[in-house]
Amino acid sequence: MTFSTAGERDSDRVRRSLANIRDLGGLPLVSGGTTSPGVLIRSDAPYPDDDDPVGVPWPPSTVVDLRDPSESGAVRVTWPAEVRLVHRQVSSGARIDRLADTALTDIYTAMMQTGGDRLTAALNAFDPAGPTLVHCAAGKDRTGVIVAIAELLAGVEEAAIVADYQRTEQNITGVLARLQHRDRVPRGMSLDAPILRTPREAIDLVVDAVTGHRGGPWGWFEANGGDVGHFEGWVTRFAPGAAPG
């Protein structure tokens, strides 16, 4: 008979719990008020053996998976039939398992300069009526970029956008443990790897690219293939009282 220690049980429980999940309700809006809960959720990649998260609507109505299809492999989740699963690969160049030592500013610059249509395709998939879950592998880079753009379109205060992005630093130990346990990253990757950080200058690249468009965030969105009517409807749920467009 094999006995497991309390430490082993706790470690296993951690690996079965999404490490970087949060509901994005309660963010301050430039126009006053806050974003609504139960509309947009961000997370690291879910796995088949995960426990259901607590404190967020689950399962979500729509899941927007931003990864390269080859990343999920044998750990692909089978969602309930009522969940709409949408694959929107926004950048193969942001894969955490291939770019451990690459500066995030370089990765984000490439995403913004060459992948605008991919980014808006992911945003166009947001659920108009139910909770949307957006995730990649760590829930930090591809997810961080998509979420930041959605927040800009909704009129979230820029300081809150940056703070939400950098909040992943608090969760990165658990994120790495989950990735290592499922062989999703190279052996020996440490928390010092640049790909695991959340530097302010990286997310500032995204904010500046979107807000710096001559038409503002909505001008950037439309110029890159965004469905303005659809996303305006989504914003009225996420940021009630805001003036989209």
Residue range 51-66, pLDDT digits in tens? 999 999 999 999 999 9
Q: Indicate which CATH number applies to the domain containing 181.
A: 3.90.190.10
Residue 245 confidence (pLDDT) = 59
pLDDT at 8 over 60: no
In-domain check, residue 86: yes
33 lies in some domain: yes
pLDDT of residue 13: 61
Q: Is the residue at 239 inside a domain?
A: no
CA angle 136, 205, 44 (to 5 degrees): 15
Whether pLDDT at 39 is above 90: yes
| pLDDT band (50, 70, 90) for residue 91 | confident
Model confidence, pTM: 0.93
Q: What is the pLDDT of residue 244?
A: 58
pLDDT in tens, 98-149: 777 888 999 999 999 999 999 999 999 999 999 999 999 999 999 999 999 9
The burial of 5, by beta-carbon neighbours within 10 Å (0-12 exposed, 13-18 middle, 19 or more buried), is given as exposed
Query: Is residue 9, in this structure, part of any structural domain at all?
Result: no
Whether residue 74 lies inside any domain: the answer is: yes
- Classify residue 47 as left (phi > 0), alpha (psi -120 to 50) or beta: beta
- The pLDDT score that the predictor gives to residue 9 is 46
Over 80: is that where the pLDDT of 10 sits?
no
Which amino acid does the sequence have at 173?
Answer: T
Mean pLDDT of the chain: 91
DSSP code, position 39: S
Indicate the SS3 state at residue 62: strand
pLDDT exceeds cutoff 60 at 178: yes
Q: 55: phi > 0 → left, psi -120 to 50 → alpha, else beta; which? A: left
Residue 5: per-residue pLDDT: 46
Q: What is the mean pLDDT of residues 202-229?
A: 98
Q: 119-144 burial, b if ≥16 CB within 10 A, otherwise e?
A: bbbbbbbbbeebbbbbbbbbbbbbbb
Q: Is residue 71, in this structure, part of any structural domain at all?
A: yes
Domain, as residue range, for 90: 14-234
Residue 242 lies in a domain: no
In a domain, 201, yes or no: yes
